[in-house]
Structure 1
């Protein structure tokens, strides 16, 4: 199907056409999975969250009004799924810490050498910076689309993206210097 996203959405809303929704999934699943993988740094969790995001999108497709792009609307749903998952993980981690208090981790950290990759660099960013850098650079969303997807003001999005980009540049510059 070569129809624009908006036509496919209208078809799904009007007829619950599974082929039309399947085409939307096919078009956007790589973007959604890549965005979530960068955000949560766990491929299996990202795949689960992407699946949840597409289920939620199917359930809520009637709420897509076409004021923004379908891609940004879908990224907004994926971002919400990420946030819900992060809250659950933090709650679980706090519970596990209480259970394991007093137990020391005896495994020594692994020496990773001078290997530099984007995922490690992204891990150095604050969650908001990482999320917005991924949305804007990896997923190709504009700052306005990222603001729409996250519900953050446009100026805040721009600030987080600029700070994140500057931190990434410093990280890679420092890694280059250390490797020399």
Structure 2
């Protein structure tokens, strides 16, 4: 017959250094913490579930590191959910700050002629998806107005390679923005 320990007993054992005891606490409370985080973060689908699972993992790591600070061992589930709440708030605050930084940055970025302001994020994402050499050529020649020769010299690439990188990069950017390569 398996001995069923209380949360308080598992916490005491974990504080004494038992990884297995903390593992049992995680097993016992992970569904509650993950469910709480999924409801806190909102959203549906696999991305929202993955986000909640990532935060739950962070919660349990923080819990392990901070277990000695737990004042009421029998209340470990509530304590873990409190950690999870702070993690969720931090993540949401970080996302808001990131969105504000992105918005401020987009206000200062000049876009190539013919690109609508609302397409700037799509353009930025499409640029990030380009291979590094192609992105460097596109950034220098199309965004910064360098000649193909200047870019070839700066990037230590053959002139023909720079030209083909620019052609491929331009085509991929136009496709990402829903345009055509009529030029």
Range class of TM-score, shorter chain: 0.5 to 0.7
Highest relative contact order (Cα 8 Å, sep 6+), 1 or 2?
1
Aligned residues: 104
What's the Cα RMSD here? Answer: 1.8
Query: How do 1:81-120 and structure 2 match up within 5 A?
Result: 81-101=87-107, 103-104=117-118
Structure 2 partner of 1:118: none
Distance verdict in 2 for CA 1:10–1:68, change over 3 Å: closer
Find the aligned partners of 1:72 and 1:88 in 2 and give their Cα distance.
Answer: 24
Aligned match of 2:79: 73
In the aligned structure 2, how far is the partner of 1:69 from the partner of 1:34?
18
User: For 1:57, which of 40, 63, 66 is the aligned residue?
Assistant: 63
Shift of 1:10: 0.2
What is residue 159 of structure 2 aligned with on the other side? none
Give the TM-score normalised by the residue count of structure 2.
Answer: 0.53
CA–CA distance in 2 between the matches of 1:50 and 1:35? 9
Q: Secondary structure at the match of 1:99?
A: helix
Gaps of 5+ in 1: 106-180
Which residue of structure 1 aligns with residue 29 of structure 2? Answer: 28
Quick one: structure 1 residues 67 and 58, their matched pair in 2 at CA, closer, same or farther if it must change by over 3 Å? closer
- Residue 100 (structure 1) shift: 3.4
Shift, 1:99, TM fit: 3.0
Tell me which of 5, 8, 11 is aligned to 1:9: 11
Gaps of 5+ in 2: 43-47, 108-115, 120-183
What TM-score results when the alignment is normalised by the length of structure 1? 0.54
Whether the 8 Å contact between 2:11 and 2:73 is mirrored in structure 1 is no
Q: Which residue of 2 aligns with 1:175?
A: none
**Hey, what does 2:49 align to over in structure 1?**
43
Larger Rg: 2
Cα separation, 1, equivalents of 2:106 and 2:8 = 51
SS in 2 for 1:3: coil
